[in-house]
Amino acid sequence: MQGMMMQQPLRISDILTYAAEANPNAEIVSVRTEGDIHRQTYAETLPRVCRLAHALRGMGVQLGDRIATLAWNGYRHFELYYAISGQGAICHTINPRLSAEQLIYIVNHAQDKVLFVDVSFVPILEAVQNDLPADLTYVIMTDRAHMPENSLNALCYETLLDGQPDHFDWPVFDENTASGLCYTSGTTGNPKGALYTHRSTVLHALIVGNVLGSALPKEGKILPVVPLFHVNAWGLPYTAPLLGMSLVMPGQHLDGASLFRLMDDEQVDSAWGVPTVWQGLMAEIDKQGRKPAGFSDVVVGGSAAPRVMIEKFEQMGVAVGHAWGMTEMSPIGTHGNMPRWVESLPFDQMIDKKSLQGRRVFGVDLKIVDEDGTAQPHDGTAIGELYVRGNTVVSGYFNNPEASAAAMDADGWFGTGDIASIDPHGILSIQDRAKDLIKSGGEWISSIDLENAATSHPGIATCAAIAMAHPKWDERPVLVAVAADSARPSLEDIHAHMSEHFAKWQLPDDVIWVPELPLTATGKISKLTLRRQLTDYVLPDLR
């Protein structure tokens, strides 16, 4: 028997219309590329989003069109999220830290129709313009007075909004309609697109709100240092308006001193970002001998949060939520909002528990499997590859059947490429990474791509790219190489050879020459053995 309840499709536009009515005075505070601080409430944001939606429609944008953004965290980027998805188009956020090659690939793969860009990223586009679709329309996210000289023939954001109506009839469509697109690095080859839906996005916002709601002060302020181009800033542009929380958008200055000043001035309650960012803030806190006023909660994710960082935050009265997730999971899968018995443990034991990756959020199922695919017990001892399932997890990749098929197991679970254990209380512990990727400052570098590019150098016979722990960047790549002959190429020479395919920060920090590489029983290079052999190795910038 069916129940007798109404059914309305879940829509992203409803989040903002709700916030404008129920939480009208909560603000979006933005450090602008224009150099000043800008403030607008959710009630003021809605009519601007409506005007933008009309402008997009006037440009011929239709249901399912991909509209790209290349921008920092700010109110205009937030407006684009809602104006694009709200009318049934797809908000494709692009990571400006990608190499030129990857940027060209994803804009062409997504077949973006319009690209909205912050002033500071205009040169990136000008450099690759000839390799982007000829009919792509560019819009620079500023006002007429700040429009830079450019070769993009670009339109001006604020001019587009001028004279447009303040009200937009948000269309009703199937809640499984695509809403957002975010590419993530593959272990090899090209980036792969996670294509979110209205349903998955609204559910994720509700789920995260459920975890957060109790941990944060009512109607407080959240600072997403995590970029809007990195899995929708972990869903905050959707969760914060639902909770009536203000968003403090940091723009382009993400160093410790700038973040400290902004958090102090705005009395930010909770700040979210990758460990690298908190290293910078911590250094500033040490310098000033105090934490920013009001700062009481930090969410750390994207890479494992070091225990010492968690300990320092907790000692200064900042509660740490250590979260784990993926682009493919919208992204939050587990969160360190611990049960009361953990909070009441002796301090050291409590920190031990908080260093783990926390418990799953509602709606995400976790399983760990051994090499044969057999599910392992959640006993805190058994280790296996982590698989996930749920309404906020991808079912494949955008226009990429090969990668889609490789990502799922026979029962429809998504393979994360992380190696983990789960204890009887449901607390996840990420132990290692099976995927061949290196994560530096929260951004990926494919070790296989590095190896392919390096071995095409005539001076290198064979090599392995491995991650080395780094206190600031979390991991940095180094090459372990066997020379082709006695004349070993220099690191500069290898960089010059590889630089066509990589952004500068992706290039290896060092090359370590060895007579031969250790192999596994199946003849593959054993990175595990290599890592063990190099336990005493120190990266050049740390010597």
For ligand AMP, which is the closer residue by CB, 268 or 320?
320
The single residue among 302, 321, 390, 441 that binds ligand AMP, judged by CB under 6 A, is 302
Cβ proximity of 205 and 189 under 8 Å? no
The single residue among 209, 301, 396, 441 that binds ligand AMP, judged by CB under 6 A, is 301
Residue 328 per-residue DSSP state: G
The single residue among 312, 433, 488, 501 that binds ligand AMP, judged by CB under 6 A, is 433
Which residue in the shown chain puts its C-beta closest to ligand AMP?
327
Tokens of 235: 């869903």
Residue 321 as a binder of ligand AMP (CB under 6 A): the answer is: no
**217-276 binders of ligand AMP (CB under 6 A):** 231
Interface with ligand AMP by CB under 6 A: which range of 88-96, 211-219, 317-325, 467-475?
317-325
Tokens of 480: 């372990």
H or E element, residue 311? helix 307-315
Tokens of 402: 């090969």
For ligand AMP, which is the closer residue by CB, 220 or 301?
301
Active-site residue identified among 439, 473, 475, 527: 439
At its nearest, how many Å lie between ligand AMP and the CB of residue 189? 16
Residue 37 as a binder of ligand AMP (CB under 6 A): the answer is: no
Residue 304 as a binder of ligand AMP (CB under 6 A): the answer is: yes
Residue 436 as a binder of ligand AMP (CB under 6 A): the answer is: no
For ligand AMP, which is the closer residue by CB, 141 or 231?
231
Residue 17 as a binder of ligand AMP (CB under 6 A): the answer is: no
At its nearest, how many Å lie between ligand AMP and the CB of residue 429? 9
The verdict on whether 439 is a catalytic residue reads yes
Q: If you write DSSP's letter for every residue of 162-189 in order, what string do you get? A: TT--S---PPP--TTSEEEEEEE--SSS
For ligand AMP, which is the closer residue by CB, 146 or 433?
433
The single residue among 331, 415, 441, 508 that binds ligand AMP, judged by CB under 6 A, is 331
CA 417 to chain centre: 17
Helices 13-22, 75-86: crossing angle, 10 deg rounding:
120
Interface with ligand AMP by CB under 6 A: which range of 80-88, 153-161, 298-306, 397-405?
298-306
The verdict on whether 472 is a catalytic residue reads no
d(CA 36, CA 283): 25
Q: Left if phi > 0, otherwise alpha if psi is -120 to 50, otherwise beta: which for 64?
A: left
Residue 137 as a binder of ligand AMP (CB under 6 A): the answer is: no
Whole-Å CA distances, 217 to 69, 187, 243, 416: 31, 40, 10, 33
The verdict on whether 175 is a catalytic residue reads no
Residue that is written with structure tokens 């066509």 in the block: 500
Task: Select from 484, 476, 487, 490 the least CA-distant residue to 515.
Answer: 484
Tokens of 381: 């001892």
The single residue among 430, 448, 461, 525 that binds ligand AMP, judged by CB under 6 A, is 430
The verdict on whether 444 is a catalytic residue reads yes
> Apex CA 407: angle with CA 84 and CA 405, to 5°?
95
Active-site residue identified among 328, 385, 443, 451: 328
Residue by residue, what is the 3-state secondary structure of 73-136?
A: ECHHHHHHHHHHHHCCCEEEECCCCCCHHHHHHHHHHHCCCEEEECHHHHHHHHHHHHHCCCCC
The single residue among 17, 137, 276, 327 that binds ligand AMP, judged by CB under 6 A, is 327
For ligand AMP, which is the closer residue by CB, 197 or 303?
303
Whole-Å CA distances, 108 to 36, 93, 276, 298, 401: 34, 14, 31, 37, 17
Binding track over 438-467 against ligand AMP, x by CB under 6 A: ------x-----------------------
Grouping H, G, I as helix, E, B as strand and the rest as coil, residue 319 is: strand
- C-beta atoms surrounding 330 within 10 Å: 31
The residues carrying an active-site annotation are: 184, 328, 439, 444
Kindly list the residues in this chain that would bind ligand AMP in the complex (CB under 6 A). 184, 231, 301-304, 322-324, 326-327, 331, 357, 416-418, 430, 433, 444
